[in-house]
Amino acid sequence: MAREFSTVGVVGLGTMGAGIVEVFARNGIDVVAVEISEPALERGRATLTGSTDRAVAKGKLAAADRDALHERVHFAVGLDALHSVDLVIEAVPEHLDLKQRIFAELDRVCRPETILATNTSSLSVTEISVATTRPNQVIGIHFFNPAPVMKLVEVVRTVVTSPEVVADVEALCARLGKVDVTINDRAGFIANALLFGYLNHAVGMFEAHYATREDIDAAMKLGCGLPMGPLALMDLIGLDTAYEILDTMYRRGGRDRRHAPVPLLKQMVTAGLLGRKSGRGFYTYERPGSPVVVPDEATPLATEAALADGARAITKVGVVGSGTMATGIIEVFAKAGYEVVSVTRGAEKSAKVCEAVKTSLNKGVVRGKLAEADRDAALGRISWSATLDHLADVDLVVEAVVEELSVKKALFASLDEICKPGVVLATTTSSLPVIDVAMATHRPADVVGLHFFNPAPVMPLVEVVRTIRTSPETTATARAVCAALGKTGVVCGDRSGFIVNALLFPYLNDAVKMLEASYSTADDIDHAMKLGCGYPMGPFELLDVVGLDVSLAIQRELYLELREPGFAPAPLLEHLVTAGYLGRKTRRGFRDHSHR
């Protein structure tokens, strides 16, 4: 039978510590909240009061329950106040020597049966435990911020942590209404090990001027459905905290270069640009601690209207292709008021594309998202053709044919001969070098990538990919067109994966490597990323949806171009693809989908 905890102690009352105090007190457990000094104690008390008052104002906590919560909390200066508690959770800054000193003192102060826990997010629980004479009673209990809201807790056992201690803490997590994942002591555990490699990669992208901070953040929010972009999230976490976590993971996790903090990160920390807490990080905030972003010298001052300066006028668009993506793009342009020429190979394919567009528009009417008159008007703007010659008078051509470089190059060579001067030629490729396509023409300055996401009528993001030969006028035209379509156009260079795939798929690959190493289960890893980071899908759920073969192909392209050892495809992914386990489309991937 699991042990019953009646009183717990919390050491350190910053944002995380105060949140942990609130979690326990909300669930009827008495708490001894400890700080190093009276001023620090008062700051912790104010943090708890502010949080509970906001919960009352939002109707999420009754005033009587708030008052009862506060009555369960005893504030004290010094560790001696913890002499009779059943469990202590330490939540002080991420410095190993500091934590070891605290645990040595807790070992002296607390009863022999008291469990000692650390909320560390990256340091070795084992190294912390050896500062005591009871390492078998030391465990990691990693809450996520904000602790009262986030459901996940990582329970971190060392090689000597008692199984009874693990079971007791797991039962406590259930009592607190949390979902726990129990794992071994490894750098970054689950969530941070997967999250911070991705965040560091995004900082490197920004440092290299590959894309703006706004475009990087917009790409990951709109392209992947993430709650925050990576640079805004770094500001929320705190750049100093992020640096410490990355540096610890690099030193403890096998010196993977992907966890080596990007130099810009260290420079910003040294300059005091720590994110929201200091009022400035990747973004500038209204005041320290405020979530409100204000313009600064790095913020693009251009509005969408200004972005259109220098853009060419586009009234008539050609779309080449007969697949799902081409169909969606035709619909998007027609609904936005453009005259569209759809070109396919043969009358039969043209008829299929026409029927698919009509079906999609009719669904919009049935669902109340489109008026019948608007549907009819959109259809009236589309003409159908089986020959490229009908693109002679368009202003923009969007190619959406098969992802084979030879096919695209041949198509663009033909378009170069047929289209009038000044026409923007766009490829929707998601994996091929745009410059290779552009150089098949005599007008590479007019060629740009327009990477729509599937389904095009629904997804709000378009990656505008400029090559080293794309003219500023062409880029401006492409972005202005995206705005006219009601899409967010994010501009980036012509590099494998562009923004979204370059950041997303290494993260997915890291998750496969974690599973391959038997560190955790697919279910627990998915839980960790959904409940701990707010991701809409766990990595293995997403891999099965995307297709393991597609994921492997993208990861191979990233590895071949960037030559980063950490990007090498996980052998487990390669083996599953070889065995024909491709995800939902074969009803078997990382999970069995045969019952669905």
What's residue 300's pLDDT? Answer: 47
Tell me whether residue 142 is one of the annotated catalytic residues. Answer: yes
Over 90: is that where the pLDDT of 55 sits? yes
Closest CA to 548 of 575, 530, 528: 575
Catalytically annotated residue among 121, 122, 129, 496: 121
Active site residue 164: no
pLDDT digits 0-9 by tens, 350-407 = 999 999 999 999 999 999 999 999 999 999 999 999 899 999 999 999 999 999 999 9
* 116-130, 289-303, 368-382, 520-534: the lowest-pLDDT one: 289-303
Options 90, 124, 142, 259, the catalytic residue? 142
* pLDDT for position 302: 39
| Interatomic CA distance for residues 304 and 594, integer angstroms | 47
Residue 294 in tokens: 């204000």
Active site residue 192: yes
**What does the alpha-carbon distance between residue 373 and residue 395 come to, in Å, rounded to a whole number?**
26
DSSP string, 187-211: TTTTHHHHHHHHHHHHHHHHHTTSS
Q: Hey, what domains does the chain have and what are their CATH numbers? A: 7-184 (3.40.50.720), 191-293 (1.10.1040.10), 305-493 (3.40.50.720), 500-586 (1.10.1040.10)
CA proximity to 11, closest of 39, 42, 44: 44
Q: Decide which of 12 and 311 is more confident.
A: 12
Where does the pLDDT of residue 104 fall: very low under 50, low under 70, confident under 90, or very high at 90 and above?
A: very high
Q: Which of 22, 35, 90, 154 is catalytic?
A: 154
Is there a catalytic annotation at residue 471? no
Band the pLDDT of 309: cuts 50, 70, 90: low
> What does pLDDT average to over the chain?
93
Q: Which one of the listed residues 51, 119, 122, 192 is annotated catalytic?
A: 192
Query: 501-520, pLDDT tens digit by residue?
Result: 999 999 999 999 999 999 99
Q: What is the pLDDT of residues 406-459, one digit of tens each?
A: 999 999 999 999 999 999 999 999 989 999 999 999 999 999 999 999 999 999
What is the pTM assigned to this prediction? 0.89
CA distances 593 to 470, 508, 511, 524, 537, Å, are 44, 19, 20, 18, 16
What is the average pLDDT across 156-167? 96
| Model confidence at 539: pLDDT above 80 | yes
Question: What gap in Å lies between CA 361 and CA 331, rounded to an integer?
Answer: 8
For residue 455, whether the previous peptide bond is cis, meaning omega lies within 30 degrees of 0, is: yes
Summarize the confidence of residues 346-350 as an average pLDDT: 88
Q: What is the mean pLDDT of residues 333-340?
A: 96
pLDDT at site 565: 86
